[in-house]
Amino acid sequence: MNVRLVIIGYGAIATELVERLRDKYGTDCNIAVLLKAQSPSLAKLPVGLTCLSSAQEVLLFRPDLVVEAAGHQAVRDFAPVCLAAGVSFVAVSVGVMADETFYQQLCQAAEQGRAKLIFPSGAIGALDYIRAVRDLPETKVVYESRKPPSAWTDELQRLSKTQHIGDEVVLFDGKAREAALRYPQNLNVAASLAIAGIGFEATQVRIVVDPDATGNTHCVHAIGAFGDMQLKIVNKPAPENPKTSWVVGLSLMATVERYFAPVVFG
Ligand SMILES: NC(=O)c1ccc[n+]([C@@H]2O[C@H](COP(=O)([O-])OP(=O)(O)OC[C@H]3O[C@@H](n4cnc5c(N)ncnc54)[C@H](O)[C@@H]3O)[C@@H](O)[C@H]2O)c1
């Protein structure tokens, strides 16, 4: 693998990805990191990494692939220009795609630029399965997120004072689009399932705040003419950011390797 990569952001996910790429591929993987001029993450950047701060600098670096690990705004700021210029773009902040107009704009830019917009598995799995069964009539997909109260502090404060702290709380039960729009930072997984599968309107989402939860639990139930698929994943938090699952950085590593590999799965 002799490639040029731009990674947007240098937080929990990007740090994991950069460390793994450097350990495994050394100088064969030429990495530049894009950060805002005043970002606190600048202080953490290891020696030897090129630092960029604008879309223009990204294109001048001539990357083979750009990987976003920064947040929804970073996708808005950089995906359209990269895709239109013919540079494929991996977006981990999938929740931003709940904005249908923006999503269609990105699809058009990718087509125009003959580039690919790529969504990694992130904190979830089985997107290949959900994709495979999406066109069968009457396929149903239900996603349940189960996290401890610490993941939903602000939302719980807004709830009724009569709610006991020891109770399980159903924070949301409805369509994936509304879930992703209402909780953009927490519902990237729901968006991934919706895009890979039967769409934002048909994918059902349930968010449960569970005082007994020991990790971030994702349950997916897909049922239809193909059979019955039930998936449960309990993720451990990333060392640097308890709101992010550790596996997300690993998933991005797999996505980057898959992009350049001669043999691919899925
Ligand atoms: N698909 C999934 O399953 C999944 C799971 C968890 C997180 N995410 C997404 O990944 C994102 C990053 O997660 P993290 O835990 O690494 O976050 P983090 O807060 O640890 O790090 C974010 C990094 O991005 C930088 N940044 C923020 N906005 C930026 C911008 N507009 N331009 C350039 N740099 C910017 C920050 O300075 C920081 O370095 C989250 O915001 C979330 O949207 C996706």
Question: pLDDT digit string (tens) for 167-191?
Answer: 899 999 999 999 999 998 889 999 9
46 found inside a domain? yes
Task: State whether 140 and 107 are in the same domain.
Answer: no
Structural domains counted in the chain: 2
Distance in angstroms (rounded) separating the CA atoms of residues 163 and 99: 32
- pLDDT level of residue 232 (50, 70, 90 thresholds): very high
25 found inside a domain? yes
| Token output for 96 | 């931003």
Please provide the DSSP assignment of 4-27 as one string: EEEEE--SHHHHHHHHHHHHHHGG
241 found inside a domain? no
Confidence (pTM): 0.95
Distance in angstroms (rounded) separating the CA atoms of residues 52 and 30: 13
| Token output for 169 | 């709380």
| Token output for 172 | 């949301």
The predicted pLDDT at position 93 comes to 97
Q: Tell me which H or E stretch contains 50.
A: strand 50-52
> Is 218 one of the catalytic residues?
yes
Cβ neighbourhood burial of 215 (10 Å; 0-12, 13-18, 19+): middle
Task: State whether 62 and 151 are in the same domain.
Answer: no
Task: State whether 92 and 180 are in the same domain.
Answer: no
Question: pLDDT digit string (tens) for 143-172?
Answer: 999 988 888 888 888 776 545 556 899 999
Ligand 1, atom 25, lies closest to the CA of 9
Cβ of residue 41 lying under 6 Å from some atom of ligand 1: yes
Give the position, in ligand 1's atom list, of the atom nearest the Cα of 249: 16
Task: State whether 26 and 56 are in the same domain.
Answer: yes
Torsion angle of alpha carbons 180, 66, 70, 50, nearest 10°?
Answer: 180
Cβ of residue 11 lying under 6 Å from some atom of ligand 1: yes
Residue 171: which domain range? 127-235
- Choosing from 72, 164, 218, 221, which is the catalytic residue? 218
Task: State whether 112 and 206 are in the same domain.
Answer: no
Q: CATH number of the domain at 103, please.
A: 3.40.50.720
